[in-house]
Amino acid sequence: MNLETPKKFATLVTQARDVADQIFRPISRKYDKAEHSQPKELRLLASLLDGMNDGAPEAAGASTASKRSHSETPGVRNGSNLSTCLGIIELCRGDVGLLLSMPRQGLGNAAIAAVANEEQLARFKGSWAAMAITEPGCGSDSAAIRTTARRDGDDYILNGEKIFVTSGERADSVVVWASLDPSLGRAAIKSFVVHKGTPGMNVTRLEKKLGIKASDTAAISFSDCRVPAANLLGNPEIDVQKGFAGVMETFDNTRPLVAAMAVGVAAAALERTRELLRDKINGRYEQAPLLLSQAEATLYRLEAEWEAARLLTLRAAWMADNRIPNSKEASMAKAKAGKVGNEVTLQCVALAGAIGYGEDELLEKWARDSKILDIFEGTQQIQLLIIARRLLGKTSAELK
C-alpha cells in the first residue's frame, strides 16, 4: 500500500499550496470583514485554473471530479477525484471561504460531473454552478424535499424555496433538487440546472454567517420557474426500485471534497500551532503521552486524528476514480474529517492561548470557518446514520 502523493500530482499540489500562501492568506481577513463582497482577486486565478485544467482529466477543479473513467487502460488509476481532493486540501490551508468563492468550481459543478450525460457535460462546460438542496422544512433529510418540478411540454415548472445555497447569488446557474411526484417519495427526486436570470427564480436574501464569510450563502425562491427538460440531469425516468440512488451519487462525489476542505483547514491550524509552540514541542513521538507536556501530547493526538481523516478522504476519492462503490467510504470521510476539522482548529486556538483567540492570527478565523464543514453536505449525525445502514445492510425505512 503506497500512501504517498502520486508523483504525477506533485506539480498540482505545489501550485495549490502557492496559491494558498501567496493569494488566499494575504486577502483572507479582508473578505472575512467584508462579508458579501465578491473577491475580485479570484477572477484571474479562476481563469488560470481553467487553463491548467483544460483537456486534463487529472485536474484540480470540482468540475472534473467524476466516476467516469477517462481512460480504458486496465488497472489501478489515480484520477480526477484524487487530484481534486489533493488540490482542495492545499487551497484550504489558505482559506475555505475563498475556495468556495472560486468561479466555476462550485459544488454544483461536481454534481453535474457526477450525474450529467455526455451532451449535458459539453453544454454546461465552463459554467459556474451552485447546488441547492436544503429547504426551510427539510434540513438533514434530503428525501423530505418539497420543491416540485411539473412537466409541461418541453419544460419543467419548478416551485419551492431553497436555503443555504453556497454561491447562490454569484454562480451562473444552480443545480436544484426537486420532486417530479411527491407521492412517490425519494425515488421521484431529480436535479435540474437552472440558469441565473431565469424568470421565476429569485435570490431572496444573503445569510450572515459565523465563518466562510468570503463565500455568499443565499436563499432562493422558485415560482412557476420554467426550465428546459434538457436541463434535468441524468435519467428523467422515475425508478422506484432504484429509489434515491441516482441523485445520491452526487454526494459520493461531493462529500470527499468537503472532507478535503476540513483536512486542509485543520492542516493549516496544526502547522501554525507548531510554529507558535516551537520552543515547547520537541517532536518526541516515541514517548508515552504521560511523559509529555499536556500541550505536546494534545498536539500529537490531533496530528494522528488529522492523518486518519486525510487517509479516509483520499481513499474515498481513489475509490471513485476506480469506479468502486464508495457511498459508505464517502460518508466515513465526511464524518471523520468534519469532526476532526472542528476539534483540531478549536484545540489549536486553545493551545495558542490569547494569541490564538485574537484577530492578529488566522487561527481564530480557521476555527470559525471549520464549523460549517461538519454541517453542509450532510451533518455528522446523518453521516453516521448512513454508515450504520451500509454496515448493517438496512434501508432508510428500516433504520431512521
Which amino acids are annotated catalytic? 377
Strands 217-228 and 173-179: unpaired
- CA dist., res. 167 & res. 119, Å (int): 25
Eight-class DSSP state of 340:
H
The Cα 282–Cα 278 span in angstroms is 8
Question: Are 252 and 330 spatial neighbours (Cβ–Cβ below 8 Å)?
Answer: yes
Nearest CA-CA partner of 338 in 381, 296, 301, 295: 381
Residue 7 neighbours by CB under 8 Å, 6+ apart: none
Q: Phi, psi at residue 395, to the nearest 5°?
A: -85, 170
Single-letter residue type at 12: L
Cell triple for residue 306? 488529522
d(CA 200, CA 202): 6
Q: Which of 22, 174, 173, 162 is nearest to 98 (CA)?
A: 22
CA–CA distances in Å: residue 196 to residues 171, 172, 176, 220, 363: 7, 5, 12, 11, 36
Residues, the chain:
400
Q: Judge whether 362 and 272 are in contact, CB under 8 Å.
A: yes
Single out the residue of 372, 356, 350, 262 nearest to residue 299, CA to CA: 350
Helix (H, G, I), strand (E, B) or coil at 88: helix
Tell me the three cell numbers of residue 294: 499536556
Amino acid identity, position 117: N
First vs last C-alpha separation in the chain? 36
